[in-house]
Structure 1
């Protein structure tokens, strides 16, 4: 069976091309003003809405700190890359910053900025299934759901999280996983509630639909990541994000996104299967507990000041 699955995954896999290294440290604007280029990943096919949100948030973060740190412009690398390659590219200086759901392993090799940017919603997983799959007509008990075959990107923390709670998960690249589902090699594809709306709008996925009853829930935080050697950028990002939370602009940007509003609707009246996340560091757990209520609440303009001790303690230590 393992050999069979390996063949399936190999059949659907694709090659990822690394982006070229940046050649310039400063970009001239009108021969008078210079700005620092900040190299970021290029959008991956099918993920544009969330990518656009993160890019806008990142630019806002740089703008709100420009008086202290200088102006910056975002420069997307030439080719899209998978998450693990993006994190390696930080060390190789192909990227200055990327973003990812966090884990012990990712924090070990890259510097996380411990301010969640997606309200923890990547830890709320809905299932994409094939249309007319009658097994999902009513809510499946947890033990039956665990026996079905789910697919996730092998390198995603979510894969390990689900497996640690008894789910039957095989790994495959992001886009080929949809093909595997259509061709009945797997039974369902757990996706973050923020992503699932625009993914199902893709005309390539007309044979797929959303399972209507269930949501798998676990604590999960998406952070910006920089190189361990780029402490100044980590400090800048943390400071900028906290300023945007305090003035409500981060919440306003996130809550105004169509994918966020769609996610809130989709979470209503679902049976929740709550499982633990064994991959959260102490710093990530602390950030999750502190920031998620601030980012998620609707009356975000009636905020309380950020706790300075919480904001500073985890940010640059990389505590595991």
Structure 2
């Protein structure tokens, strides 16, 4: 039944009680700007499970236009109806204008980054021991990702692109030196870009406090409550952890974080006091 729910979601799924189909609320999420979304199946299975017991009924649809994070946040902030639901890295600013469902769906994994480099530079970070050692190297990021300011705040050079897909070609062309990606993303991305001259560095990891939340537009408070309640139920009954490990346990093992030099970064854009850090069951620990 759970697998069927995910498939139906992709084709446009109605969540909630199946006995009555009146009063269905349409919830729109951003049409992906990238050709592929490495989180797609995981996110949709979480949503399917979280909303399956809701007494209210929801139809989840992509936005009519593809859009990047910055535009999606803008549309949700002003309640245009173009986007109602977003999953992204949190910042204090986003939490001020949107409803943050404060169950980190990544368990903090988005803050654990390992880099793509071109194959000729696979040994480039072999002698790196501190952040200062990274000052001569430039990272690539999409221009409206929160990571840009986090990396720059920690003294790292960043080159930006207008689109996610362009970053892989830019790295291959030498426009920057490395492309740091979350350990929950990078292995799938390696498969999807197997034709490019890129490898995953085995020597370092960047880490900063991060939380990957569902965000809901303020005009859809009932949906936000139903989603929050569903996710909390999943945490209590173990279903959240089960689905998390289903999609990410292999990536965690492959990352071999204990064998890497970990460079700790500050995240000045997310106040730790606003994070549910006291709930250890919500966070990954290497």
Q: Same fold (TM over 0.5)?
A: yes
- The answer to whether structure 1 residue 89 and structure 2 residue 79 are counterparts is no
Once the two structures are superposed, what CA deviation does each residue of 1:262-306 show, in whole Å capped at 9, x if it has no partner?
233213411111122111135533x2x1345345489xxxxxxxx
Q: CA RMSD in A?
A: 2.6
1:76 matched to which residue of 2? 62
Q: 1:31 to 1:216 in 2, by over 3 A?
A: closer
CA distance in 2, matches of 1:297, 1:178: 29
Using the TM superposition, give the Cα deviation of residue 171 of structure 1 relative to its aligned residue in structure 2, in angstroms: 1.8
CA distance in 2, matches of 1:291, 1:118: 14
Larger mean Cα displacement after TM superposition, 226-235 or 180-189: 226-235
- The answer to whether structure 1 residue 122 and structure 2 residue 122 are counterparts is no
Where structure 1 has 5 or more consecutive residues not aligned to the other structure, the ranges are: 1-25, 299-320
Q: 1:283 to 1:239 in 2, by over 3 A?
A: farther
Secondary structure at the counterpart of residue 116 of structure 1? coil
Secondary structure at the counterpart of residue 229 of structure 1? helix
8 A Cα contact 2:103 2:282, kept in partner: no
- The answer to whether structure 1 residue 265 and structure 2 residue 254 are counterparts is yes
- The answer to whether structure 1 residue 160 and structure 2 residue 149 are counterparts is yes
Where structure 2 has 5 or more consecutive residues not aligned to the other structure, the ranges are: 1-13
8 A Cα contact 1:41 1:76, kept in partner: yes
CA distance in 2, matches of 1:30, 1:112: 28
User: TM-score normalised to the size of structure 1?
Assistant: 0.75
Greater C-alpha radius of gyration: 1
Q: 1:232 to 1:281 in 2, by over 3 A?
A: farther
Once the two structures are superposed, what CA deviation does each residue of 1:169-209 show, in whole Å capped at 9, x if it has no partner?
12213111211111111000111111100111124653001
8 A Cα contact 1:119 1:292, kept in partner: no
Larger mean Cα displacement after TM superposition, 152-161 or 185-194: 152-161
User: TM-score normalised to the size of structure 2?
Assistant: 0.84
Q: 1:180 to 1:229 in 2, by over 3 A?
A: same
CA distance in 2, matches of 1:77, 1:84: 14
Secondary structure at the counterpart of residue 231 of structure 1? helix
Instruction: Give the alignment partner of residue 229 of structure 1, picking from 202, 205, 219.
Output: 219
